[in-house]
Amino acid sequence: MKLKKWEWLIIAGVLAICFGIAWALEDEKITVSFTTKTLTAANYSGALSAIFSVEGNDIKITLDGVTIPTSGGTGIIVKKDAVYSNILTSKTAIENFKAVRASGTDATINISYQRGTRIQ
């Protein structure tokens, strides 16, 4: 059986939509408030790096696993409405990630983890 051109177009469209949806899904969405938040171990298991974006408010982060970020001063400020691919570049950074909101309103972090072999 040979498919017609319009049937091929429908198949191509369905595949494009499916790949687009799969690409857009994040692995984790975290609301960051005045208490310290970490990433969920069950979600980042096996991850080698991650990209994330921040919405709603700036956040403060630490990556050393010891220091707790505070709204008032401690931590690195990460601005909202940007995508960050150069912060969580190792398994250790992912495990040690801690965040708190930088000012009065909550923020949301959308995270996608990268698993598998990393080629540089």
pLDDT tens per residue across span 2-28: 878 787 778 777 766 655 444 445 689
* Residue 12 resides in a domain: no
Name the DSSP class of 26.
-
Q: Check residue 22 and give its pLDDT.
A: 43
| CA torsion through residues 71, 72, 75, 77, sign | positive
pLDDT in tens, 34-75: 999 999 999 998 899 999 999 999 999 999 999 999 988 889
Token representation of residue 2: 């040979």
Q: Give me the CATH number covering residue 78.
A: 2.60.120.10
Q: What is the total count of domains within the chain?
A: 1
* Residue 9 resides in a domain: no
116 pLDDT more than 60: yes
Q: Structural domain of residue 81, as residue ranges?
A: 27-115
Q: What is the mean pLDDT of residues 85-110?
A: 93
